[in-house]
Amino acid sequence: MSKSKELEKRRDRLVKELEKSKERLEKQQELITGKETEIQKVEAELFTALLVENDMSFSELKELLSSTKEVEENTPPSVQLGGTENA
C-alpha cells in the first residue's frame, strides 16, 4: 500500500475516533449538568430541613447572618485570621 493510502486510512480512522469522542464528551457534559442540578436540589432541601430542625424562619436566619457579618466587620483582621493583636 502506498504511503498516501496509508495516511488517508489513518486520517479516516482518526476522524471517526474524534466523532465518537465528541459524542461521549457531550453525554458526559449532560451527566455533569444533571448531577449539578441534583446537588442544588439536595442543598435546597438540606437548607430547608436545617431551618425546620432548628425552628428558624427565613427572617430569623437573615437576622443571624446580618449580626454575624457585623461582628466580622468589627473584628480586627489579626483576630479574624487566628493571629494575635500584638503580632
Q: How far apart are CA 38 and CA 32, in angstroms?
A: 10
Q: Give the model's pLDDT for residue 73.
A: 82
| pTM summary value | 0.60
Are the beta carbons of 78 and 87 closer than 8 angstroms?
yes
Residue type, 85: E
> Would you state the cell numbers that stand for residue 69, as one nine-digit string?
457579618
pLDDT at 80 over 80: no
Quick one: average pLDDT of 72-80?
75
pLDDT at 85 over 60: no
**How far is CA 29 from its chain centroid?**
14
* pLDDT band at residue 77 using 50, 70 and 90 as cut-offs: confident
Helices (H) and strands (E) in the chain, counts: 3, 0
**Residue 72 contacts by C-beta under 8 Å, 6 or more apart in sequence?**
80
